[in-house]
Structure formats: C-alpha cells, structure tokens
Structure 1
Amino acid sequence: MEKTGSSPFARLERTLVGWKNSNSILFLVWLEGLRLRGAWNLWRYDDRAAIIKLYRDYSGRVPDLANPVRFSEKMQWLKLHHRDPLQTVLADKCAVRTYLKERGYEALLCRQIASVSRVEDIDFDALPERFVIKAAHGSGWNLICRDKALLNRNYVHRMLSSWLRQGIYWNGREWPYRDIPRRLVIDEYLEDSSGGLRDYKIHCFNGEPRFVQANSGRLSCGHVQNFYGLDWQVLPFGKDVKPIPEVLIPRPGSLERMIGTARDLASGHPYIRVDFYDVDDRLFFGELTFYPASGLPDFIPDEQDFVCGDMLSLPQSRGH
C-alpha cells in the first residue's frame, strides 16, 4: 500500500511549501500564484473532476465515490452530495460568533477587536501590542502578532490584501467557503501556561465526539500533535504529522465541557471538528471544520483511514 502523500506531486508540493514558508517574498508570490491557479482550476474542472484530481495527486489513487469506505473518501462524497447551507455560516469565522451567541455560548468567545473587508480599514496604531488577524473566509490564514513593534506593516498589508483577493473553495471544492464574505477578523491574543497556545480539536462523527486531536508548540520547533480518547488515553495514530506518544500533552481542565459543547454543536452534522483552547481552565472556542486537510487521506498509519471511515455513516440524501 502506498504511503499517504508519497506521490511525486505530494513530495514536490511539500518541498515548495517549505521554501515559501521560509521566505516572505516567496510567500507573497506563492499566494498570488495560488489565486491564479484557483481561477484556472475553477474554469477547467467541475466539482467531481477537481475532487478526484486533488485526491489522486495527493495519494496516487482515485477515490471511490460510488461506494466510499475510507474516511477520506466519505469526506469527498460529503463535499459533492451533502450541502447544508448552515455550514457556510459555521465555517465563517465572523458569522459563527453570532450563531454561538444565539446558542448560548457567548462566554466561549474571545474578544474580537475588529472585523473589516479592506486592509485600509485596519488602524494598526490603535491595536494592542499583541493580537491575531484571521481571514474569516479561509483556513490557516492567520497572523499571530506577539510584538507590534516588530511588525513589517508593508509586508503584512500585502499579505492581507492577497487573502482578501482569493478563497480556498477552488482546490478541494470545500463548498461552504464558496459564499463566505471576504473579511478579516482581529482577535485578542491568547496564551496559556505553555507560553504558546495549545489547541484541542474534538472530532465528531454523526453528532458524537469520538477522539481529541491535541497540538502543543505549533509555532515552535517543538510541535507535538497527539490523539487521545475521551478518557485522555493516548491513541496509536496520527494525522498529517507523526505522533510522539511519549510526550504527554496535559489533559485540559475543561475537557468535559469541551466534549459536552462539541456534542451539542455537532448535532445534525455527519462529521464536524470542533476546536477549542484552554487558558488556565477557561474554555475558548476556536473554529468549526467540516473537511480537515480537505478530507485527504493523511492518517498515520493509513489503516486509520478505514477505521474512521467505519465511524462515519453517510446521510441518505444524494442531492446538492
């Protein structure tokens, strides 16, 4: 069986990503190239063809979309056949806040400093010394500022402008992102006792939390990502990066609240990942994700893709 992500395309892509992440100019060029690539992709491929191409380029095999068995195949099936309009609201990092307030979860929200649709509307002088800027319509587009005095405002302006010119729908056809307004949200900076911010991601299948993905030291060379059961026993698999089970990520004091809240928010969704932060036992909401890593087969070992596939029952509806 071919190792996940071991195709020549995937290896080349990882190399290029490493280069652009280490050079600010290359990163800006990469962002603009991504936008142009997206326009070409949308013109050339319909949803099904784009999904098959992405999956094949990553894994070296074609997903079975007629009778999906793997978790990654079922993720692609959901993109094509399960389209609940509420998902667009929940994937929007700005609109989801209103939804959570209506559900009684306002206490889980960090302080939002601003929400803008133009970079020119950001008053950097008025911002606190530490803050976080996120693209409400994207995934992974985050600027974490720990010292405003060190911020290269010209570079940041160009990067944020690039975020606003594009979306992430085109590549894996994660349709909830297609109609999200392009906005930037500026949130308060959070930090826990580790000196960074551990995040805890609850993976929920058919409304039920099944396991927790815990990340520590994400912004440092000491990044650890492990998976735990709901009883906080380490699980024998990883996702995207190899687990380091000998490094124990502390059980968060708010774990039971995380699980209960995730169960409530997951109700009615075939699959959803509910993300949290724990700052001195105070619980904060992170985000909601429907297709982590665009649903690509990145479990380690690959057999876990089948195990998680068994956990997920697809809805009967096959309409768009």
Structure 2
Amino acid sequence: MKLSKLCKVGMSFLTKPYYRTRVLIKLGYYDSLSDEEFLKKVFPKYMGYPLDLENPKTFSEKLQWLKVNYRDPIQTVMVDKHEAKNFIAQRVGEQYIIRTLAVWDSVEDIDFDALPNQFVLKCTHDSGGIVICKDKSSLDREAAKAKLSASLQRDYSRIAREWPYKEVPRRIIAEEYLSELGSNEILDYKMYCFHGEPKMTVVCSDRFSKTGTRMNFYDIDWKPMGIHFGHYPPLPTEFPRPETYDEMLRLATELSKDCPFLRVDFYEIKRRLYIGELTFFPGAGLEQFRPISKDYELGEWLHLETVHRS
C-alpha cells in the first residue's frame, strides 16, 4: 500500500467513528460481546444517537430490537439465496424465480465451462459476495474465485448481528443473467412491508457503477418521500411507477404476511417480475435516514407490541 493511501486510511480510522467501527468489527474486536451489548456499542457510532432497546421509537432502533428479541427459524430459510427460491415458489409461484444454473460447495467445484456466456455467481449466506459475468471470454476466473472464496470464509452474521445468516449453508450458486434489451442496468425495486402490508418502495439505480448506488424512496401512492438513506443519495430525477407495481404489491403482501417486517426485492424485465431476495434488516438497520424524522415515521409502522419474543 502506498504511503499516501496508508496515511489516508490511518486518518479515517482516527477521525471517523463509522469507519473505525467497521474496521474493528472486521478485526473481531467486538466478537466477545453479546448481541445486545454489541448493538448498544456500535449503534451510536453509525447512527449518531444511543440505542434504546427498552423503548425503541425509530425504525432503525426497532430493527435492532427484532435482532435481539424475535427469532423465527423460517428467517434462516428466507435469507438463504438458494433455499429462499423454494420458499418463494411455494408462496407465489416459481415463475418469479431467477433460474439457478448450478450450486457448489467450494470455488474449486465451479465448472465455468458448463456455464453460458453470461451468468451471475453469488454466495448464499452473505451480501456482496457476487460476480457478474457479461462475457465469459473476458472473465478473470481466478479473481472471481478469490472474491467468492473470501466471502465463503466470512461469518456475515457477526458484522451486524443479523442472526438469520448464521446457520445458512455456505455455498455458491450460479444464476441466469438478467438484463433489459439494449441496457446494462436493471432497476431494483425494494418494497418495505410492515406486518404484511407494503408501505414504501425504494428504487435502486446505478448499482455496481463507479459513482455508486442511488436510492429514491416512494410511498404506497408512488409519491416521492424525500428520504436520503445512508451513503446512497437519490437521483434528482424521479422514476415512473413500474407497470407491474400492482403485482409487486400483491406478491409482497403474500410473502410478508407472517413477518413483523420484510423487504422484498423485485426486478422488472420486459413486464415480467422476478424476486431477487428477501431481507429482514435493510442496511443492517445501521444506515442513517435523513431527515431523522423519516426514521421515526417508519418506526410508527412497526408495532413491536404485537410481536411475540422468541
């Protein structure tokens, strides 16, 4: 590492609590803490205010409460990028599943020659362990294997104590590559559901771009909500309501009907819907909502008094 970059990293560690916390988590500094101790320790460093688990008010606080107090074994199935497909197919139909091409336990088992020219590789137990191949002839196979291997070694549940990922088998899946005709980008529609009721949709754009992901928030009537989420600023131009929006609402309602909170991710390709993944803790509940009043507004939609501790 160059000296200038090393100095920059060092200054970030010393002056930025958010950055410092992420480094310490990665190094295992907090591993000995219980989930509650850990969350009370790191939450203020990410969010800028203390975590109140006894009387949580904001959406972010209530997500931490759910991590500690609500544990349904089906959640492990629902976050598993392989097993979730069976859950989705049984609930709403297999036509909404992105086709799986293969599943392997190790990077050494990956048969690149048997895969089509375009495909996506993912680790089943985490977020970020993904390789997108648009042209197999130019794919750096060793770099892809190195990235996936690093993800397979990571205990994703320890990063922010998202316990459902703990027992997910660590595997690699190959999926069909989806793309709009003539476009390299697919919009990602993330629908927030509270007690089985969709209340808000986030449109993610510029994913995997050099400029970084953008997020635009819309209420149930597709009106902009004026939310700035974490490190993902909204685009200044708004997105039209998708043609399949009513179908998204129906599917999200069915998939989330037994959950205090669930985020359902959709892709719309040529008027056809695909479900990407199911998430219980967007941004681990550790990404700031600005203005903070929005965090309180979303918090009012999550009624913990109706949730049975497990």
Give the corresponding residue for 2:11: none
Distance in 1, matches of 2:305 and 2:104, equals: 37
User: Is 2:115 the counterpart of 1:127?
Assistant: yes
Give me the whole-angstrom Cα distance separating, in 1, the residues matched to 2:110 and 2:287: 39
Higher alpha-carbon deviation: 261-270 or 56-65:
56-65
Query: Residue in 1 aligned with 2:273?
Result: 283
Residue 66 of structure 1 aligns to a residue in which SS? Answer: coil
Shift of 1:222: 7.3
**1:90 partner letter:** M
Report the aligned-residue RMSD.
2.1
Q: Is the 8 A contact 2:126 2:165 kept in 1?
A: yes
1:215 match: 204
**Are the aligned partners of 2:229 and 2:288 in contact in 1 as well (CA < 8 Å)?**
yes
One of 193, 198, 210 as aligned partner of 2:187: 198
Identity rate of aligned residues, in percent? 39
Aligned partners of 1:12 and 1:180: how far apart in 2?
Answer: 28
- Whether the 8 Å CA contact 1:203–1:211 is kept in 2: the answer is yes
**Residue in 1 that maps onto 2:228:** 238
User: Which residue of 240, 244, 255 maps to 2:245?
Assistant: 255
Q: Please list, as runs of the form range in 1=range in 2, the aligned pairs for 1:87-126 lying within 5 A after superposition.
A: 87-126=75-114
CA distance in 1, matches of 2:196, 2:308: 19
Q: Could you list the runs of 5+ residues in structure 1 that have no partner in the other structure?
A: 1-6, 17-29
**Is 2:77–2:84's contact at 8 Å kept on the other side of the alignment?**
yes
Answering whether residue 53 of structure 2 is matched by residue 65 of structure 1, we say yes
Moved more, 160-169 or 227-236: 227-236
Relative to 1, partners in 2 of residues 1:282 and 1:54: Cα closer, same or farther, differing over 3 Å? same
**1:307 corresponds to which letter in structure 2?**
E
**How many equivalent residue pairs?**
293
Separation of aligned partners in 2, 1:288 and 1:186: 18
**Separation in 2, partners of 1:222, 1:87:** 29
Q: How does 1:159-198 map to 2 (within 5 A)?
A: 159-193=147-181, 194-198=183-187
Which residues in structure 2 correspond to 1:116-155 (within 5 Å)?
116-155=104-143
Given candidates 299, 303, 307, the residue that maps to 1:313 is: 303
Structure 1 residues 318, 46: closer, same or farther in 2, change over 3 A? farther
Higher mean alpha-carbon deviation, 212-221 vs 258-267, is at 212-221
Distance 1:284 1:318 in 2: 32
Distance 1:111 1:48, change over 3 A: same
Cα offset, 1:142, TM superposition: 1.6
Unaligned runs of 5+ in 2: 1-14
Residues 276 and 49 of structure 1: CA distance in aligned 2, closer, same or farther (over 3 Å) = same
Alignment of 1:75-94 (within 5 A): 75-94=63-82
Structure 1: which amino acid aligns with 2:130? N
Alpha-carbon distance in 1 for matches of 2:99, 2:60: 35
Structure 1 pair 223–168 and aligned structure 2 pair: CA distance change class (3 A): closer
Paired position in structure 2 for 1:299 = 289
Contact 1:41 1:171 (8 Å CA) reproduced: no
- Partner Cα separation in structure 1 for residue 301 and residue 57 of structure 2: 10
Contact 2:46–2:288 at 8 Å: present in 1 too?
no
Give TM-score, length-normalised by structure 1.
0.85
